[in-house]
Amino acid sequence: MLNEDQLAKLRRAGRISAEARDLGCSLCKPGAKLYDVAQEVEGYIRDHGCGLSFPCNISINECAAHYTPTPNDDKRFEVGDVVKIDCGGVLDGYIGDTAATVEVGTNAYRNLVEASKNARNTVAEFVGEGTSIRDIGRAIEMSVKRDGYKVVENLCGHQIDHWDLHAGFSIPPYDAGDETKIELGMTFAVEPFATNGRGYVDNGKFGNIVQVVREKPIDDPKAQDFLRYIADEFHGLPFCARSCDFPNAEKYVKLLMRKGILHGFAELVEAPGAIVTQHEYTFYAIGKRAEVTTLP
């Protein structure tokens, strides 16, 4: 169990994450640049005393996750885009992770947007100490199917730990037979993805998000300085060059990827023409009914 001070930090990180999520969703207007929205979301998190638990993901239509814009990215929202805003703040290692979906200027996919939200809310009604992973997955799949759609089978919720965004168990969005139970004091994210596609994502192109995966000696002194910077700034959490206050960050990200020190995340993409929606909460198992930490 977290002590009072630790729990206060988890709650604050969650609240700031939720406020940033809602801000990002409100900015998804026709003609707005993805880069500007990502900067606003991350700026809000940092301006309110948190670091970034990962870059702001802005994933559109068949892209389900793992895309964040670069400074030279000219992409703008178009009418009809179905946009997932996935963001998180961290305070002294205590993490918020949350997401929501908005449709830009239309309501053609309103029921699909609601499907992932309904599944998340269904889990929130019962999850807590003693709930099994299989029960969470079953509830997600039943809810999404009841709304007429498919879950994205290979995108899962996950346990969260101190300075560790994806720790311990995963939570598949279906009954995988996992009898592991949520224990008192655990933090975890539930993030149903719903789709009118096939229910499976593949790796696409590089989504501009990276993470340190190994330590290796490197001769370039500036690259060493950059490594020290990202260790102090991100503490092993995922990041992107855009989020770095370091000269020529993109150059050093590319160098460290070539050296195998950084791993690059690919966009996760459904079939062309499919639409994916996502809603996510972070929970803390404070008792038989878990607390949602990512409420504004």
Positions marked active-site: 86, 97, 158, 166, 191, 280
Q: DSSP string covering 65-116, please?
A: E-----TT---B--TT-EEEEEEEEEETTEE--EEEEEESS--TTHHHHHHH
> What is d(CA 69, CA 208) in angstroms, rounded to the nearest whole number?
7
Contact 155, 76 (CB under 8 A): no
CA nearest neighbour of 270 among 68, 101, 64: 64
CA nearest neighbour of 192 among 257, 142, 131: 142
Distances (CA, A) of 205 to 66, 138, 231: 10, 31, 26
Query: Quick one: residue 103, left, alpha or beta (phi over 0 = left, psi -120 to 50 = alpha)?
Result: beta
Q: Give the number of other Cβ atoms within 10 Å of residue 258's Cβ.
A: 9
